[in-house]
Amino acid sequence: MDAPSYEQPTARISSPSGKWILLTTVLGSSMALLDSTVINVALPHIGEDLTAGLTALQWTVNAYMLTLAALILLGGSLGDRFGRRRIFVLGVIWFAVASLLCGLAPNMGMLITARALQGVGGALLTPGSLALIEASFHPDDRARAVGLWSGFGGIGAAVGPFLGGWLVDGPGWRWIFLLNVPLALACVSIALRHVPESMAAPHQAAAVDSGTGAVPGDTARRQHGFDVSGAALGALALALATYALVEARNGSVVVALSAAGGVAAGFAFVFVERHRPDPMMPLSIFASRQFTAINLVTLCLYASLGGFFFLTALQLQIVVGYSALEAGTAMLPTTVLMLIFSSRSGEIAQRIGPRIPLTVGPLLTAAGMLMMLRVDLDASYVGDVLPALLIIGAGMVSFVAPLTVTLLASVDSGNAGLASGINNAAARAAGLVAVAALPLLTGMDSDAYRSGEAFNESFRRAMPICAAILGVGAVLAFVTVRGAAPDRDRPQCRRHGWLTTPPLEPLPNRHPR
């Protein structure tokens, strides 16, 4: 292992070392991104092959999001302490081994367990990929490097559903996981040979800025230890709450105890974070009202989007009759619109302020979801599916970039990474809860996905719920978000901010910071 560097990063994009760094970080982040993108088009095939009910399919999605959401902040701190390349490589290897277990899983229990392990690997490699870029490239090239990394990741997001559908319809659903193994081998080989090691300097510290609600910088917080208790309590709260929601239709004593335990673990998490000297999620950052408001809006928007894309991938296959490839391809328009127009949306939001885009965008997306009520047994793609997805994509273009810009502008520059990490965890947790709760709220039983008529009825009940949640987010944005354009001196990302917004589940178009 190379000795870690505390010096000013010097890598240039035009240099061979810069190109190798970009390649390895894109490969690593693409693995986590692709599995998040393709899993939903594979669910009907997984259920049929492993004789699984809807509950098991929910856990196939949620197990990954659960561990990733709970541990991603801890993963970033491990990289700062022990070396960003070291933790990134560990995450890639971990993710590959877990992917191999997914691909070889003989039953749903093994698959769900392996998916949870995948999330642990994702929590190590996802923050590490961007941290390596920020720690390796010269400041003059850093913004462009982040843009290239994000752009290639966006291409991966666009290709993901198409590739996943092709694999599921061709060699089989197991190959969406097995494909990660050769990608991981290439990524690790390049990282160990061409990516320099780096970590946070031991002497770095930051002072609390009580006027802005800022908190000590990441390095200062993590010098004393790791918030393992906070990470464990956060994971336990999410796990128990998710279990209670998924299993609530059974109405057992175990479900009630799980719900109570989830609430208790949540309160314990807040207590620990408030009193630890080095918390994973320092609550003082929420003294910034704008930061708190943006995270509340994020919870609404990404809960709706997470539930929508989970159910739509199933609706297109179970009800409309699309193959996995056709379903994955059908949802590409939203991603393409994001790739083309989101950076421009961020610039517009900086000129006119974020309140209007964060209000209009969710309402537009909600209208598109209501248009999905026309997608049933007799739906045509051009007449019914495509118009709705175009409206949804246009709405996402309107609010995703302003959400990121406003988030980064709500804290001081020393806490931009922390703020983005918290927002990323909030978005993933929102998607996790949505995937768990929507089948319960719409009356889906465990075999609903085996009947096109039954699933269609539940889907028609789910779309108004998703639209209503977006409406709540729009109202919150209008009431709580400042109408003025962000302060130009505050940390923001005009060109690439949309790409650092929390990734969607199951259609992640962006990468977390």
Concatenated DSSP letters of 398-450: HHHHHHHHHHHHTS-GGGHHHHHHHHHHHHHHHHHHHHHHHHHHTT--TTGGG
**Running DSSP on this structure, what letter comes out for residue 382?**
I
Q: Are residues 376 and 304 in the same domain?
A: yes
Q: Are residues 262 and 347 in the same domain?
A: no
Q: Of 226-235, 274-283, 404-413, which gets the smallest average pLDDT?
A: 404-413
Domain end call among 212, 244, 275: 275
Q: Is the residue at 93 inside a domain?
A: yes
Q: Are residues 33 and 181 in the same domain?
A: yes
375-414 pLDDT, tens digit per residue, is 988 889 999 999 999 999 999 988 887 887 788 778 776 6
More confident site: 392 or 72: 392
Nearby residues of 402 by Cβ (< 8 Å), 6 or more positions away: 345, 346, 349, 354, 357, 358, 361
Domain end call among 180, 196, 212: 196
The boundaries of the domain holding residue 236 are 228-275
Q: Is the residue at 512 inside a domain?
A: yes
Residue 119's pLDDT is 92
Residue 207's pLDDT is 34
Is residue 510 a contact partner of residue 341, using CB atoms and an 8 Å limit?
Answer: no
pLDDT at 341 over 50: yes
Q: Is the residue at 294 inside a domain?
A: yes
**Running DSSP on this structure, what letter comes out for residue 385?**
I
Q: Is the residue at 29 inside a domain?
A: yes
Q: Which residue has the tokens 């698959």?
A: 111
424-459 pLDDT, tens digit per residue, is 888 888 988 999 899 888 888 777 778 888 899 999
Q: How far from 166 is each of 48, 173, 316, CA to CA, in Å?
A: 18, 9, 15
Helix, coil or strand: residue 5: strand
Domain end call among 172, 196, 220: 196
Q: Which two tokens stand for residue 184?
A: 């991981």
Helices (runs of H) and strands (runs of E) counted in the chain: 17, 0
Q: Which residue has the tokens 């690439």?
A: 496
Residue 13: Cβ within 10 Å count: 18
Q: Is the residue at 70 inside a domain?
A: yes
Is residue 75 a contact partner of residue 127, using CB atoms and an 8 Å limit?
Answer: yes
Q: Are residues 243 and 300 in the same domain?
A: no
Residue 469's pLDDT is 96
Total domains, the chain? 3
pLDDT at 504 over 50: no
Q: Are residues 249 and 305 in the same domain?
A: no
pLDDT at 11 over 80: no
Is residue 6 a contact partner of residue 201, using CB atoms and an 8 Å limit?
Answer: yes
Closest CA to 334 of 309, 299, 354, 358: 309
Q: Is the residue at 368 inside a domain?
A: yes
What pTM does this model have? Answer: 0.81
Q: Is the residue at 478 inside a domain?
A: yes
Q: How far apart are CA 290 and CA 481, in angstroms?
A: 6
Residue 425's pLDDT is 85
